[in-house]
Amino acid sequence: MNFATWFSFFCAACLIAISPGSGAILSMSHGLAFGVKRASVTIFGLQLGLLLVLFIAGAGVGSLLLASETAFNVVKVLGAVYLMYLGVTQFLGASKIGQASSAPDDNPEAAPTSNPISASTTALLPSVRRRILTGFITNASNPKGIVFMVAVLPNFINSEAPLLPQLGILAVTMVFVDTTVMHSYALLAASLQHWMREARAQRIQNRLFGAILILIGASLFFVKREQSVSL
């Protein structure tokens, strides 16, 4: 892979990562609620899902998936339902604020820290495994990502050169760019934590991010196999 091809993919990866989507919303939501350090676990899960989509597209499985309407619709529905589930869960999370501060803290990650997160929000911190899984499923079940990768990735692959080294270079580039951008989103959101200590502010936060995730999930039902859309 020559430098010009790689740089073109790097620019495309930047545009993909910066464009608002479910990954960005999830990173901002967890950054605001739990801080950048804890949101990094969620972002790690997002990258695992992104790698899966990239290698599916690169291996040609994505083309087969798009060729089968049934298979594509299954992925689309699962992705849409999962995002809407996350949205509803977060939207209704405000009702737990009053309960969390008095609940026993059996989560070692929920121990008090110097991070300016309210006791109620910290008590509701999901486990590391759950945050990784949430991030992974969010990207892995995103049909927009599959469509985009299948449409764009072949433009940067030389069919006369070995496939795996090229996929490796593209994967490292994509993950580096996306990790940087997602942490930027999380950091931006975390900078607002001192404004979100009150229960009312937390309710607004939960309802805002929950509603956005529900809308993004609902929009996936309208994704068509032939569309080339951004992540």
Amino acid at 201: A
39, part of any domain: yes
The total of structural domains in the chain comes to 1
Question: Alpha carbon of 152 to those of 63, 67, 94, 115: distances in Å?
Answer: 12, 16, 40, 40
What is the DSSP code string of 13-69?
HHHHHHS--HHHHHHHHHHHHH-HHHHHHHHHHHHHHHHHHHHHHHTTHHHHHHH-H
What is the pLDDT tens value at each position of the chain, 231 positions in all? Answer: 788 889 988 988 898 888 878 899 999 989 988 899 999 999 999 999 999 988 887 777 666 666 677 777 777 787 788 788 888 887 887 544 333 333 344 444 444 444 444 444 454 788 899 999 999 999 988 877 777 777 777 778 887 888 788 889 999 999 999 999 999 999 988 887 776 666 676 777 778 878 887 888 787 787 665 544 444
Residues with Cβ within 8 Å of 47's Cβ and at least 6 positions away in sequence, in order, are: 135, 139, 175, 178, 179
Domain extent, residue 96, equals 23-103+114-222
16, part of any domain: no
This prediction has a pTM of 0.72
Check: CB of residue 119 under 8 Å from CB of residue 100.
yes
8, part of any domain: no
**Structure token digits, residue 213:** 């995730």
